[in-house]
């Protein structure tokens, strides 16, 4: 028998579901709090019992999606530590992002869909995490240290795979997996050292990355309730 606060969490989730459906259909600007409340079958005031503003409501939605995505990556990493290798991890991240329209919109800076929700500290946090991941891989010898600006080059190359589709509609016929495989090839050939990596190093790196992902998830959990502006 669910207690009072459990009910409240359920309802918060229902409201976020409603917000998600409407956001993807109409975009941030055209979705009103009234719409969300009606879709979630609650009164408008009820929405404000959970979040202080429209911006915080939709930020919570983006953060919830980020948690979901990060948990997926974490599960894959735990099932197979070699997921930590750049070509594997970048591949999984690519698929995890393109399958979540909200994440894709945030990464591509789609202000039509997200308003200015795309910016903000959330994006900075993710960028920082990417940086830390890169440095960690270089330190452990899982990314080539012999080429200058590996981090820059990898960021640039990967970005292109996310953005090409918006510039060249012809590529929309390829499946996400096909693109992800091509991306993995590029990352492996261009940025990873030749030869098989030491399994011990891989296991260790996987453990560290798992820790980082967990702490990201914790940070996200806090943000859901504080609207990303603590």
Partner DNA sequence: TCAGTGACTGGTTTAGAAATCCGGTCACGA
Partner DNA sequence: TCGTGACCGGATTTCTAAACCAGTCACTGA
* Contacting residues toward DNA, per CB under 7 A: 4, 7-8, 11, 29-34, 42-46, 48-49, 52-55
By beta-carbon proximity to DNA, the closer residue of 42 and 190 is 42
Q: State the number of binding residues for a second copy (CB under 8 A).
A: 30
Which one of DNA, a second copy, none interacts with residue 21, CB within 5 to 8 A by kind?
none
By beta-carbon proximity to a second copy, the closer residue of 193 and 199 is 193
In whole angstroms, give the CA distance from residue 190 to residue 37: 50
Q: Which stretch binds a second copy (CB under 8 A): 77-85, 96-104, 164-172, 199-207?
A: 164-172
Which residues, 6+ apart, have CB-to-CB distance to 31 below 8 Å? 19, 22, 23
Reading the block at residue 156, the tokens are 């640039």
Beta-strand runs (E) in the chain: none
Which one of a second copy, DNA, none interacts with residue 168, CB within 5 to 8 A by kind?
a second copy
By beta-carbon proximity to DNA, the closer residue of 49 and 163 is 49
CA angle 90, 91, 92 (to 5 degrees): 95
Which one of DNA, a second copy, none interacts with residue 163, CB within 5 to 8 A by kind?
a second copy
By beta-carbon proximity to a second copy, the closer residue of 4 and 149 is 149
Reading the block at residue 57, the tokens are 């409501």
In whole angstroms, give the CA distance from residue 85 to residue 218: 24
In whole angstroms, give the CA distance from residue 99 to residue 129: 21
* Least distance between DNA and beta carbon 1 (Å): 16
**Residues 36, 16 contacting (CB under 8 angstroms):** no
> Which residue among 2, 3, 168, 200 contacts a second copy (CB under 8 A)?
168
């Amino acid at each position: 028998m669910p207690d009072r606060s459990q009910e409240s969490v359920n309802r918060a989730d229902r409201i976020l579901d409603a917000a998600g459906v409407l956001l993807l259909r109409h975009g941030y600007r055209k979705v009103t709090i009234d719409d969300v409340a009606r879709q979630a079958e609650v009164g408008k005031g009820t929405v404000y019992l959970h979040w202080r503003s429209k911006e915080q409501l939709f930020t919570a939605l983006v953060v919830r999606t980020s948690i979901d995505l990060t948990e997926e990556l974490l599960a894959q990493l735990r099932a197979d530590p070699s997921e930590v290798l750049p070509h594997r991890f970048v591949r999984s991240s690519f698929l995890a992002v393109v399958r979540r329209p909200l994440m894709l919109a945030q990464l591509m800076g789609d202000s039509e869909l997200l308003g200015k929700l795309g910016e903000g500290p959330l994006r900075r946090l993710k960028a920082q995490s990417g940086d830390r991941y890169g440095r960690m891989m270089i330190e452990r010898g899982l990314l080539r240290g012999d080429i200058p600006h590996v981090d820059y080059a990898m960021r640039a190359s990967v970005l292109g795979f996310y953005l090409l589709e918006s510039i060249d509609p012809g590529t929309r016929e390829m499946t996400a997996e096909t693109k992800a495989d091509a991306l993995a090839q590029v990352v492996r050939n261009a940025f990873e050292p030749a030869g098989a990596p030491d399994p011990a190093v891989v296991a260790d790196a996987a453990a560290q990355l798992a820790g980082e992902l967990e702490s990201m998830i914790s940070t996200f959990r806090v943000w859901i309730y504080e609207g990303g502006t603590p």
